[in-house]
Amino acid sequence: MSDRVADRVKGLKGSGIREFFDIAQQMEGAISLGVGEPDFVTPWSIREACIFSLEKGYTSYTSNWGLLELREMISDKVYTDDSVYYDPEGEILITTGVSEAFDLAVRAIANPGDEVIIHEPSYVSYKPCTLFTGGSPVCVDTGVGDEFKLRAEKLEQKITDKTKAIILSYPNNPTGAALSRKDVEEIADVVTEHDLLVISDEVYGKLTYDGKHTCFSSLNGMKDRTILLNGFSKAYAMTGWRLGYAAGNKDIIEAMMKIHQYIMLCAPITAQMAAMEALRTNDEMEQMVSEYNRRRRLMVEGLREIGLSCFEPKGAFYTFPSIENTGLTSEEFAKRLLLEEKVVVIPGSVFGASGEGFIRCSYAVSQYEIKEALKRMGRFLEGHRVV
């Protein structure tokens, strides 16, 4: 048995960056802007509801679909916030995070050889998950000139007769870009014209700072073509609970449920109980959003003051400044910054080739940490500016 590991896995790009992450994780006194989750602890009312459910003995499996009451609440919430209605019975599936929901979605729709269009820079899971299904990821670059938006013309250029679906991931990790209503309508036209499906990851939808997020499936004709993915991780500071959901066309959701029942059985009941409490009140979420917004401004202005050109992010909790004027690659920049000034940032290249020349700095950290990190980065840049 010489080859214990399957080719499918060996084929995945090894991450040379791992070792950098290990250093970052262990360094004393480091400030990490590499975080991808809220620094808030889950609001107490949510934690308390979960404790109560444990006391009452809710420790069993649930329906494969997830608790009906939770699906009903999600249906109401999506209808109230985004004006699109999903039937709690058959059109909504509760999953262990958007992560699982994404995996189910591609597996449910992609045949080997089907092309799935992914805009980059983007979240790191889309490509490998698509590859696992035997589908072919097709990347389309977005650039700072387009405010990191997926433009309809650029999308159209990548469409072939093998294209099955596109991934839409806005507000975007790592760029913080968000799409306006007009932007998404233009994409919707292309989707209709070429008869495509859309997997829309809207996990940062509630974290939008300029104007309101447009849910893609709420657009005319898009509900039937869209698998809407959302969850509790970011908006409710519930990353560790592992809870999300998919909503969409009955046949597709049913197909996703079939996979889910064999690989996951159901999402954890404690997390489902907590999620119901999360949906009952918005106050704390809104306070967290206001606080992110203050930090966003503090960080964007601060980055500009120390000499980095920085695109103004409209959502999520990331800034994506350009480090091109240092002459360093984004990986070199991140490594040296860590070793010289103990600040962790993520090289943009991790999120796709078009992320080269940028770094991702998260503002899901305290105001104090933002200020201290900027001070250190300013000092670092003094030494590395190319003339």
Ligand X SMILES: Cc1ncc(COP(=O)(O)O)c(C=O)c1O
> Contact residues for ligand X (CB under 6 A)?
36, 97-99, 123, 169, 173, 201, 203, 231, 233, 239, 244
Nearest Cα to Cα of residue 234 among 276, 288, 287 = 288
Least Å distance between CB 291 and another protein?
A: 9
Q: Closer CB to ligand X, residue 363 or residue 380?
A: 363
Question: Distance from CA of residue 104 to its chain's centroid?
Answer: 16
Least CB distance from residue 207 to ligand X, whole Å? 11
Angstrom distance (rounded) from CA 322 to CA 312: 12
Closest approach of ligand X to the CB of residue 244, in Å: 4
203 touches which of ligand X, another protein, none (CB within 5 to 8 A by kind)?
ligand X
- In the complex with ligand X, which residue's Cβ is closer, 106 or 203? 203
Using CB under 8 A as the binding rule, the residues of this chain from 231 to 290 that contact another protein are 240, 290
The entry of another protein, ligand X, none near residue 231 (CB within 5 to 8 angstroms by kind) is ligand X
State the burial class of residue 374 (Cβ atoms within 10 Å of its Cβ: 0-12, 13-18, 19+). buried
Q: Could you tell me the smallest distance in angstroms from the CB atom of residue 100 to ligand X?
A: 7
Helix (H, G, I), strand (E, B) or coil at 200: strand
* Residue 313 near another protein by CB under 8 A: no
In 70-100, which positions are buried (b, 16+ CB within 10 angstroms) versus exposed (e)?
bbbbbbeebeeebebebebeebbbbbbbbbb
- The contact pattern for another protein, residues 119-138, with x = CB under 8 A and - = no contact, is ----xx--------------
Q: Nearest CA to 121 among 146, 97, 86? A: 146
**Of the candidates 98, 99, 88, the residue with the CA atom closest to the CA atom of residue 65:** 88
In angstroms, the CA 122 to CA 168 distance is 9
233 contact choice in another protein, ligand X, none (CB below 5 to 8 Å, kind-dependent): ligand X
Residues 8, 12, 25, 224: which binds another protein (CB under 8 A)?
Answer: 25
Q: How many CB atoms lie within 10 A of CB 267?
A: 29
- Rounded least distance, CB 220 to ligand X, Å: 25
Shortest CB 103 distance to ligand X, Å: 10
**Token representation of residue 214:** 């447009």
Give least dist CB 96 to ligand X, A: 7
Question: Restricting to residues 171-210, which ones interact with another protein according to CB under 8 A?
Answer: none
For residue 251, the tally of other CB atoms under 10 A from its CB is 11
CA distance 63 to 299: 44
- The position carrying tokens 């967290």 is 288
Is residue 36 within 8 Å of 203, Cβ to Cβ? no
Taking the least distance from each CB to ligand X, the nearer of 209 and 380 is 209
Q: Could you tell me the smallest distance in angstroms from the CB atom of residue 56 to ligand X?
A: 26
> If binding is defined by CB under 8 A, does position 337 make contact with another protein?
no
Residue 97 sits in the site that holds another protein (CB under 8 A): no
User: Whats the size of the chain, residue-wise?
Assistant: 387
State the residues that interact with another protein by CB under 8 A. Answer: 21, 24-25, 27, 30, 32, 34-37, 39, 41, 123-124, 240, 290, 294-295, 297-298, 301-302, 344, 346, 350-351, 367, 371
